[in-house]
Chains A and B, each alone.
Chain A
């Protein structure tokens, strides 16, 4: 009988698992161990409205304390899991406690990839992942502050847009030849690069940071071409890696993330994992993936909770992602890897267009710029493995849902 479920990690996945476990009628003991001091909270606003100060800290938590009290959730916040002993089904905590579990759910998330160039260890080199990272960055985003962002991915560009709106003089340094190069088509990159430049951001691609210099704190960024960028404030957003050390040390299979099957089970039958930390199979896309996504954390945690209760539930959703930059909303659904065809619907000049990816005639993924309708319709079509008519797909006057 399962009487204790221990969840490590209080992000989106951990919070959702708690919710599903109780909604599904689990009456046993639920313990949440989170090294963060806050109640489980939303991360997406950290680079946007929370960074700018528009959204107060009390609006970040998913649930109030009363929810956890009412549902008898033992919260151990500000506590780190030090060691998992799968044989004894026991976890040692940083506060000296040990918790015995019948089932363990790891929702460990991801950690920011760190710069390694000389000067990376200087004070004032900020990363943006968790709530405590924000005040230090926000303090530096004063009007006119020379703000350098290393990395032109989601975090970098969202932070750049927020800093610019706050009146900073913003420079974005991207190593690749275009922004968000790993996640969007080149015309979507071009569109967003143009938007950022129009807003007054200095965006430099094809540039490699080789050194950070300064005295008591970082003051400038030196690139391979010799260019020097003065930085009153510096934020690094160069990707993330799975937080899997705890799992690896426990002997669980890890590769790019914690390896789980479609039932969210790790290589130990009493231990499950969900969210950014997992390397999991996607049946729909026929590959293993590690996703940094609110949606995946949410859905995988839901499935994991069912499986923890002994109700076999496959996690195989079409993932989706979004990003807000200035007044633009980028909505992505599906995974474009392996596509053999690409179709753009609409003209980027209208600020509303959609890039569609197909493989063998099946719709695989869609990147919609300010186009909610295309995006929502595509979510359905991709899940159904629909084969849209290419002429209709290329015609923005034909609704996405009517392309099949």
Chain B
């Protein structure tokens, strides 16, 4: 099982083992990672599972589709390494993926 790391807004580091095939958002939510709200549950409709992907990782992910890009523009403080965690599907290659959870989420 790949292990992924969330750097929470409260400063805590949460490492979570998650099965291949689920999304990064689901991994966060199942374990109650702080700051990943994911209100719409992965429908790409709310931008509340926004994360910053740590260096070296962005190019190893599948690039975002238009819907995600549209949502990201209106996420809380988007940056070049912003992604919606509901659109990142976990694979073995993503073992060690590290993301920072923003201090706030859109509309929250």
A and B are partners in one complex rather than unrelated chains: yes
Judge whether B41 and A372 touch: CB under 8 Å.
no
Give the docked Cα–Cα distance between A333 and B33 (Å). 27
Minimum CB distance partner of A56 in chain B: B21
Please tell me which one of the listed residues A45, A67, A371, A376 contacts residue B31 in the complex, with CB atoms under 8 A apart.
A67
Judge whether A372 and B67 touch: CB under 8 Å.
yes
Interface magnitude class on chain A: 20 to 34
Give the docked Cα–Cα distance between A33 and B34 (Å). 25
Residues facing A in B20-40 (CB within 8 A) are: 22, 26, 29-32, 34, 39-40
Judge whether A19 and B67 touch: CB under 8 Å.
no
With a cutoff of 8 Å between Cβ atoms, the chain A residues found around residue B11 in the complex are none
In the assembled complex, A313 has its CB within 8 A of some CB on chain B: no
Judge whether B40 and A44 touch: CB under 8 Å.
yes
With a cutoff of 8 Å between Cβ atoms, the chain B residues found around residue A71 in the complex are 32
In the assembled complex, A62 has its CB within 8 A of some CB on chain B: yes
Q: A372-B67, A372-B71 are in contact. Are A329 and B30 (CB under 8 A)?
A: no
Judge whether A376 and B32 touch: CB under 8 Å.
no
In the assembled complex, A298 has its CB within 8 A of some CB on chain B: yes
Judge whether B31 and A64 touch: CB under 8 Å.
yes
Judge whether B30 and A44 touch: CB under 8 Å.
no
Give the docked Cα–Cα distance between A64 and B46 (Å). 23
Residues facing A in B66-107 (CB within 8 A) are: 67, 70-71, 73-74, 106-107
Please tell me which one of the listed residues B30, B34, B41, B106 contacts residue A376 in the complex, with CB atoms under 8 A apart.
B106
Minimum CB distance partner of A377 in chain B: B74
Judge whether B41 and A329 touch: CB under 8 Å.
no
In the assembled complex, B4 has its CB within 8 A of some CB on chain A: no
With a cutoff of 8 Å between Cβ atoms, the chain B residues found around residue A63 in the complex are 29-32
Please tell me which one of the listed residues A19, A42, A64, A329 contacts residue B44 in the complex, with CB atoms under 8 A apart.
A329
Give the docked Cα–Cα distance between A66 and B106 (Å). 28
Please tell me which one of the listed residues A66, A295, A329 contacts residue B39 in the complex, with CB atoms under 8 A apart.
A295
Judge whether A329 and B43 touch: CB under 8 Å.
yes
With a cutoff of 8 Å between Cβ atoms, the chain B residues found around residue A298 in the complex are 39
Q: List 8 A-B contacts (CB under 8 A).
A: A45-B41, A59-B26, A61-B30, A63-B31, A329-B45, A379-B106, A379-B107, A380-B107
Given pairs A324-B43, A380-B74, A380-B107, 19 additional interface contacts (CB within 8 A): A59-B26, A61-B30, A62-B29, A64-B30, A67-B30, A70-B32, A294-B41, A295-B39, A320-B46, A322-B43, A331-B45, A372-B44, A372-B67, A372-B74, A376-B70, A376-B71, A376-B73, A376-B106, A379-B106
